[in-house]
Amino acid sequence: MTNSIVFPGGQRLEIFQGDITQQRVDAIVNAANTLLAHGAGVAGAIRTQGGEQIVKESQAWVRQHGPVTHAEPAYTGPGKLPCRYVIHAVGPIWGVGDEENKLRSAILGSLILAEKLELTSIAFPAISTGIYGFPVNLAAEVFFTAIGDYFNTNTASPIQQVNLVLYDQTTLQTFLSAFSLWQHAAKKSSP
């Protein structure tokens, strides 16, 4: 089963199991809440590995800009992490309504922000699939559709590498199965 694809503009998407806090990319994406309170899951791991500097910068962001929205992520420095930035994307809570569009907005907002920051590589976790309860298979579909649409319409994007870094084997297998289906559907719909 393949775990990568290269888009028409040369941008590469890779899917693998790993620890997002160890990614040596320009930015990692944090699965955040609107107040950037770094509790459990990905946010907790980023706080633990990155240190209190990320917490301080997050609090300052919210004081200055207000709560973070799905479509407009925040960003901070990396603290002790091996990346240049942490992009804090607010994923939807399952059951609140319009979850697929909110997740898509968080993904696209992160890519748009990465371009504004002039980044060439970014790593995403499976946003909202932990304590927020978003079904993993549906999240995978949203990720592939959003990323595919973004790079198929932004072929000149300076982002060259997108990693989907999944914490456990079960999530990885679900994403890889959805990726295979998405690739098959994309091939059938292309002229």
- CATH at 31: 3.40.220.10
Q: What pTM value is reported for the model?
A: 0.95
Number of domains in the chain: 1
- 169-186 pLDDT, tens digit per residue, is 999 999 999 999 888 777
Give the dihedral sign, CA 92/97/101/102: negative
Q: pLDDT truncated to tens, each residue of the chain (191 aa)?
A: 469 999 999 999 999 999 999 999 999 999 999 999 888 888 899 999 999 999 999 999 999 999 999 999 999 999 999 999 999 999 999 999 999 999 999 999 999 999 999 999 999 999 999 989 999 999 999 999 999 999 999 999 999 999 999 999 999 999 999 999 888 777 666 55
51 φψ region: left (φ > 0), alpha (ψ -120 to 50), beta (else): left
- Give me 172's structure tokens: 């990885």
Give the domain range for residue 48. Answer: 4-189
pLDDT in tens, 28-51: 999 999 999 888 888 899 999 999
